[in-house]
Amino acid sequence: MRIRAIPQIYHNMNRWGEILSILSKYGLAGWLSRFEFGFTKSLFKNRKGQVLADESSETRIRLAIEELGPAFIKLGQIMSTRPDVVGGDLATELEKLQANVPADSFEEIEEIIKEDLGRPIEEIFDEFSTEPVASASIGQVHRARLKTGEEVAVKVQHFQIQKTVHVDLDILTGLALLAKRLPELKPYRPEATVAEFQRVMQRELDFSRERRHLEQFALAFADNDQVKIPEVYPEISTERVLVMEWLDGVPLTDIKRIESAGFDLRAIASVGAEMYLEMIFRHGFYHADPHPGNLLLLPGGTIGLLDFGMVARIDETLREDIEDMLLAIIEQDAQRLVSVVIRVGSVPTGLDETGLSLDLSDFVAQYAYQSVENFELGAALSEMFDIIRRYEILLPSSMTMLLKVLVMLEGTAQKLEPSFSLMEVIKPYQSKIVAQRLSPARQFRKMRRLAYEMQQLIEVVPRRLRDILQQVQSGSFDVHLDHRGLEPSVNRLVLGMLTSSLFIGSVLLITNQVWPFHGVSVPGTLGGALSAALGLRLLRAISKSGHLDRRP
């Protein structure tokens, strides 16, 4: 592929130059980190003055992403949920990404609200703070008071953020086309990763989706007095403006304030974990960003949940696969775990199934003798991701996101109570999972789905068979074969035949002294030299692709 064949190269040249400049700086810093010359290492620093060559490669990747801007930060945050693709160390480093974007001016925010709601701010709100309480990659949040007296949080998109994101998405598409040509980047599946990221960003740019998420979660937890979902105000919310109830509580990041208030940290961690398990195993949709800043401790020990931009859903089939995987880990059933991984994952050709089985058996045995209260599910899942990545198996993105959320959830709970074990909370769900799977309602849904699929099969197969028979009868039936990897073999075969023919012809010319010069055939000598060069070229190509007994 030639660079000029990528249309994105010609668009937004200024932004392309900025991105390539940043990537070059971090790439050169990585190259200098291999040497011991102190004066050269200090040449490249980030915006905060950190010497890049002194940092690990994972840290340099994170710092580069932070410098590239909001869209790239979001991409890094999404990739942190794919340790099976980027590896556990890089995924852990990418979890540290923070989108501390400078806030827009109050005038720009006021213009967006007036444009979307059709009224000036003073007609909608009795009070409106001109300074935002938070500013993230997509929008910023202001505290306000409605005319009716309710305290609300007003989330407003950054000025022209949609245009900025679309420019970066266009550039990321071009970078993905380039990255897939590099062997060292191919395992990261750049095109599929960027396509997944585009879907996520398009959803996050629409605040009406977040509004619907709030309404759905509020309905799901209406009877749970330990969980508080902010009330949303749909009549004054749009795609760029979201107005919701203001929750006045203590973030779970402020552990000292929580302790001084006399709360039981272990009980709070258990309530938060049970809330997430109820989302996953009962409702089939869950909040996908459980870091402590999105969880508030409200008066009475109630947990408030914030930021519903990232919400994931799991269908019944995927939920059963995840249940099987977790049950296999809980019950230390290595064969069941291998079966689930191979069934749900994208398995490479020539998978060493025996090696995978042995590694997963060792993995399960390592945790077999740990008590439930000492079992660290996060560490176990991280180790399992490393094994899966080693065998180049790719799990569905929805599954890896859920498993990564469980890892993050345990990490958040352990910040409150270091001895907390998520497995201790999951263990009682084992009987609930089995009961739900065997419930008549679930069995009826499965039978109905199976009956529908059988009906579709019965309708389609006879028609397809009739079409094939008609093609055979009319002589238009064709079989198309895809010869993967055959072209290099054919090219080498042809080159080998030409080389041998040239060598034999040159020997005949030398033997018969055709056009001699000092008794040596000139064309024969030139032909022999050329055949030797072609032969060496052929041997080099075979050596690079493997050996004579391997496929090219």
Q: Which two tokens stand for residue 1?
A: 């592929």
Looking at 252, 276, 311, which one is the last position of a domain?
Answer: 311
β-strand pairing of 227-228 with 241-245: unpaired
pLDDT at 551 (0 to 100) = 47
Counted domains in the chain: 2
Task: Provide the pLDDT for residue 50.
Answer: 61
Count of residues for the chain? 552
**The two three-digit tokens of residue 160, written as one number:** 């022209």
Which residue among 311, 328, 351 closes a domain?
A: 311
Q: Provide the strand spans (E) within 246-282.
A: 250-251
CB 377 within 8 A of CB 411: no
Per DSSP bridges, beta strands 311-313 and 285-287 are antiparallel
**Domain-located, residue 20:** no
Residues catalogued as catalytic: 289
Alpha-carbon span 323 to 458, nearest angstrom: 32
* Token reading at 96: 């540290």
Q: Which domain holds residue 530?
A: 487-545
Q: Please check whether residue 170 is in contact with residue 12, taking contact to mean a CB–CB distance below 8 angstroms.
A: yes
Q: How far is CA 496 from the centre of its chain?
A: 45
Residue 358, both tokens: 């042995």
Contact by Cβ (8 Å): 157, 240: yes
**C-beta contacts of 127-131 below 8 A and 24+ residues apart:** 128/154, 130/106, 131/103
**Tokens describing residue 432:** 């609930």
Domain assignment present for residue 268? The answer is yes
In order of 277, 377, 422, the CA distances from 427 in angstroms are 11, 11, 9
DSSP-derived 3-state class of residue 313: strand
- Predicted confidence at residue 155, as pLDDT, reads 94
Select from 269, 285, 311 the last residue of a domain: 311
| 244 within domain boundaries | yes
Residue 260 CA to its chain's centroid (Å): 39
Alpha helices in 33-145 (DSSP H): 38-41, 57-68, 70-79, 83-86, 88-94, 106-117, 121-124
Q: What is the CATH number of the domain that holds 130?
A: 1.10.510.10
Tokens at 120, concatenated: 């000036």
CB 142 within 8 A of CB 124: no
How far is residue 271's CA from residue 279's CA, in Å, rounded to a whole number? 12
Query: Does 343 reside within a domain?
Result: no
Q: Is residue 267 one of the residues assigned to a domain?
A: yes
CA distance 228 to 292: 15
Q: Is 80 helix (H, G, I), strand (E, B) or coil?
A: coil
Query: Do the domain assignments include residue 317?
Result: no
Order across the sheet with 303-305: list the strands: 227-228, 303-305, 295-297, 250-251
Pairwise CA distance, residues 87 & 94, whole Å: 11
Interatomic CA distance for residues 29 and 22, integer angstroms: 11
Looking at residue 495, its pLDDT comes to 81
DSSP β-bridge partners for residue 410: none
Does residue 146 fall inside a structural domain?
yes
Q: Token pair of 280, please?
A: 């996953």
Beta strands in 255-372 (DSSP E): 285-287, 295-297, 303-305, 311-313
Query: Which 3-state string (H, E, C) describes 124-190?
Result: HEEEECCCCCEECCCEEEEEEEECCCCEEEEEEECCCHHHHHHHHHHHHHHHHHHHCCCCCCHHHCH
Structure token pair of residue 246: 């203001």
What is the per-residue pLDDT for 5? 44
What's the Rg (C-alpha) of the chain? 31
Is 147 among the domain residues? yes
Residue 6 CA to its chain's centroid (Å) = 24
What b-and-e string marks burial along 350-374, b requiring 16 or more CB atoms within 10 Å of the CB?
eeeeeebbebbeebbeebeeeeeee
Pairing assessment for the beta strands 227-228 and 303-305 based on DSSP bridges: parallel
Handedness of CA 350, 354, 359, 360 (dihedral sign): positive
Tens of pLDDT along the chain (552 residues) come to: 444 445 555 556 677 777 777 777 666 555 545 545 444 445 555 556 565 666 677 777 887 787 787 778 877 877 777 776 777 778 778 877 765 667 889 999 999 999 999 999 999 999 999 999 988 878 899 999 999 999 999 999 988 888 888 888 888 887 777 777 776 666 667 777 788 788 888 888 889 999 999 999 999 999 888 999 999 999 999 999 999 999 988 888 888 888 888 888 888 888 888 888 888 888 888 888 777 778 899 988 899 998 888 888 888 788 888 878 877 877 778 888 888 888 888 888 778 888 888 888 888 887 766 666 667 777 788 888 888 888 888 888 788 888 878 888 888 888 888 888 887 777 776 667 667 666 777 677 778 878 887 888 888 888 888 888 888 888 777 776 666 666 677 777 788 888 888 888 888 888 877 777 777 788 888 888 888 888 888 887 777 665 555 444
Helix then strand then coil, in percent of the chain rounded to 5, is 60, 10, 30
